[in-house]
Amino acid sequence: MKNFGRGLCYVVFISLIFFFAGCEKKKVEQVSEITPPQQQGAGITPSAPGPKDDITMPGAQAGGGQEAGAVNLTGAAKAFEDNDIHFDYDSFSIRPEDRRILAEKASYLNAKPNVKIRVEGHADERGTTEYNLALGERRANAAKEYLVFLGINAARISTVSFGEEKPLDPAQTEEAYALNRRGHFVILAQ
């Protein structure tokens, strides 16, 4: 009787292994191996702060209408925010062309050690709201991890996901979807 119980346990255990091994698994793309960018020509060359690089807090200049925590920007700081990275469909892997952009951002941040930023993850409208929020979070975190890999202190970088909620282009075309699958960078504090 004892052997029968042990044999039954083995049969159940092996059946569970086959059951779970046979289940279809959802493909989840991992962040590809991060390789450091080439040092020559990789980014913005650090320079001494000048008038074109001024960063001022909200209220110091007219304009308003910005998000809470964002700052008014000019020059290189505005270029920093205006240059998004983009992602392939259903992916949060950093593409080679976007590694160059992140290297430029790291150069800027190294030249401005007091600047804090927020990385915003976005998705196109395909998929559920919950899925797109999670994908946006993975995209923002992938960008943050790459900046940390390039030597930026993680405490200077916060992340947020907007999922599909803030599209750059509301059209339902492949071109619009490609624009909306992005990581956007916001300078929060000097």
Please say if the pLDDT value at position 33 is more than 50: no
- Of the candidates 32, 27, 28, 26, which has an alpha carbon nearest to the alpha carbon of residue 142? 32
The mean pLDDT value of the chain amounts to 76
Q: Assign 100 a pLDDT band (cuts: 50, 70, 90).
A: very high
3-state secondary structure of 184: strand
Residues 42/100, Cβ–Cβ less than 8 Å: yes
Closest CA to 81 of 104, 59, 113: 104
| CATH T-level assignment (fold) for domain 29-189 | 60s Ribosomal Protein L30; Chain: A; (3.30.1330)
DSSP string, 120-162: EEE--SSS-HHHHHHHHHHHHHHHHHHHHHTT--GGGEEEEEE
Residue position matching structure tokens 């900046």: 147
Residue 13, pLDDT score: 57
Q: Domains of the chain: which residue ranges? A: 29-189
How confident is the model over 110-148, as pLDDT tens digits?
A: 999 999 999 999 999 999 999 999 999 999 999 999 999
